[in-house]
Chain A
């Protein structure tokens, strides 16, 4: 430790020093959340130290299937992504907006006094970092803001971890969102190296991250470290379960609006909405009013919602997207096409969750290719 570390400098942290990283983050007042084992899946939860991580586990994923297996090594990040995404923490499934109290014929609106938690997100995969950037655009950078999201996000300390064990549903490489493309928006980025001495390459992406890293017993990287990281990256790229060709997806799906293949997908789709709940970018919400039995108090909550329900598009006279095909079409077209018109980016980051957690294994990458192959072909009107 002879020099002053700067943002972007890559250094080495030994596996034994990982506990120190948690301590350093917690010392700054963060509540750390990260991957944990629970009910046969790797989900997100509060973690105290490195011991809470799913050390030595991997996940096997494919369309409609997910299971955990023991690894032969003690990898800390030896799995892909689970059913939870970080939007649970930055954009909770349920949140109170305000309360109101009746007083005779009148009522008063009362604020919800809430300190947004200072969260540290530990082990965010590059695709998930990309998803957070997408939600930043949607919820924090538009004409109107979700102030709660913005405040949670602004305060969050994000530790990105490169992905070396992509799942069968993953296709981040083809979208440029992983497995090691970290992009921006994080405080620390880690690359786990299993070959030889178990260690991590660590970089700071912000001054907060730099403060943490400086407090740790880092050492300089050697060419061997970088070569090992590159080999792992290449291996991850080769093992990527799926790919998506995003080229022209917008025009393609707009043109395919009346393709009867939507009907064919709708015959398989259960309209369960699992895909929308699991997707790290889906942001749709509804509001629910909870009124006390005596009718004197009421509270409004916003809760995650899914475009697969009939109520979602209901207006007097009937739902706009009444037919199942129209609901699946809306979801997929939004992810891959109209999102681009709205936010200048795709709404999909290639995490594969919608494929893996779909009970019938509908595969967005495959459906896109089906539409591509049908351009100019069998495109008679749906009804």
Chain B
């Protein structure tokens, strides 16, 4: 039998996954779950920047891009939060502690944690879009005095779909963080906002002339979020969005993620809005 592929990070073929053990499976909501992963090789270094993603591989089923949703300072565990929508994500939902999963990465650009220093920060998340923003939030909270006012605006379909509800409750009780949640459809017990998340932008407490915005969610939601943010006076150059495209390689070689001249896997997924505005506006690019 051939020997297993060496796990040394140097000289790794970027197309070959690294095996991880599922340490913990956490159900988040009806259709979302988080996986906490540890590499087989304990010396394997887990450095990533908030906003980056991995290609996650389920044995015999396939591989899909999933953002890292954990804390960048945690060098022991890799955390991913996934919404079950199709073949691969469904197979991923059936993984249990002790199972193996493959991961390649981290790939792509990251949220502007440096650029945002000294400014107000507004995070606008729609649905599963909160997962790729959570590492940014962890980062800010660890370096809280480096940022101005921090606001999280989060929208989901219904109250049952709220991700990370315990953490959100904790963050809401903090004085150094504003959290506003809205749902499309309220239940009888829901006391909060109803309506699309972009509606929260107008009332949120931040100084639009001194704000960096990070937006993640369905493309249509990001479109409206950008519109509301610019209406408030946030410059397009201070707005960042995370793009989603079909991805087969993650390293600029398969061509699938192209958005005109952009390889979203390596030139993105996080983009400064003003730089891709024409590509964002044109249909079906």
Contact = CB atoms under 8 A, between A and B. Distances in A.
B168 interface: no
B282 A257 contact: yes
A118 B85 CA distance: 45
Nearest to B251: A144
Given A107-B100, A285-B255, A97 B16 contact: yes
Contacts of A219: none
B255 A289 contact: no
B248 interface: yes
A238 interface: no
A291 B60 contact: yes
Interface stretch (B141-149, B190-198, B256-264): B256-264
Given A97-B15, A258-B282, A330 B248 contact: no
Interface string B273-285: 0000000001111
Contacts of B99: 105-106
A285 B96 CA distance: 32
A353 interface: no
A191 interface: no
A316 B85 contact: yes
Interface in B221-274: 244-246, 248-249, 251-256, 258, 260-261, 263, 266
B98 interface: yes
Given A144-B14, A285-B255, A320-B246, A109 B19 contact: yes
Contact of A313 (B15, B59, B251, B256): B256
Contacts of A232: none
Nearest to B247: A315
A259 to B, nearest CB: 12
Contacts of B61: 289
B4 interface: yes
B5 interface: yes
Interface string B1-38: 01111000000011111010100000000000000000
B106 interface: no
Nearest to B250: A144
Nearest to B95: A105
Contacts of A298: 59-60
B246 A111 contact: no
A281 to B, nearest CB: 11
- Interface residues on chain B, size class: 35 or more
A313 B60 contact: no
Contact of A295 (B21, B60, B256, B284): B60
Contact of A143 (B3, B86, B256, B266): B266
A284 interface: yes
B253 A146 contact: yes
A382 B282 CA distance: 11
A313 B246 contact: yes
A283 B255 contact: yes
Given A284-B254, A287-B248, A338-B258, A106 B285 contact: no
Given A106-B99, A341-B261, A305 B255 contact: yes
A31 interface: no
Contacts of A312: 246, 256
B98 A105 contact: yes
A326 B259 CA distance: 12
B122 to A, nearest CB: 26
B70 interface: no
A307 interface: yes
Contact of B263 (A333, A337, A342): A342
Given A105-B99, A108-B4, A110-B5, A330 B17 contact: no
Contacts of A295: 60
A351 to B, nearest CB: 19
Nearest to A284: B255
Interface in A313-343: 313-317, 320-323, 325-326, 330, 333-334, 337-342
A344 B59 CA distance: 38
Interface in A277-319: 283-287, 289, 291, 295, 298, 302, 305, 307, 312-317
B284 A323 contact: yes
Given A143-B252, A338-B258, A107 B245 contact: no
A109 B266 contact: no
B63 interface: yes
A104 to B, nearest CB: 9
A102 interface: yes
20 contacts: A98-B16, A100-B59, A100-B60, A100-B102, A105-B100, A107-B19, A107-B100, A109-B5, A144-B266, A257-B282, A257-B285, A285-B254, A289-B61, A302-B15, A305-B255, A315-B245, A325-B284, A326-B284, A334-B258, A342-B261
Given A147-B13, A285-B254, A287-B248, 10 more contacts: A98-B16, A107-B100, A111-B16, A258-B282, A286-B254, A298-B60, A312-B256, A340-B261, A342-B263, A383-B283
Interface of B: 2-5, 13-17, 19, 21, 59-63, 85-86, 96, 98-100, 102, 218, 244-246, 248-249, 251-256, 258, 260-261, 263, 266, 282-285
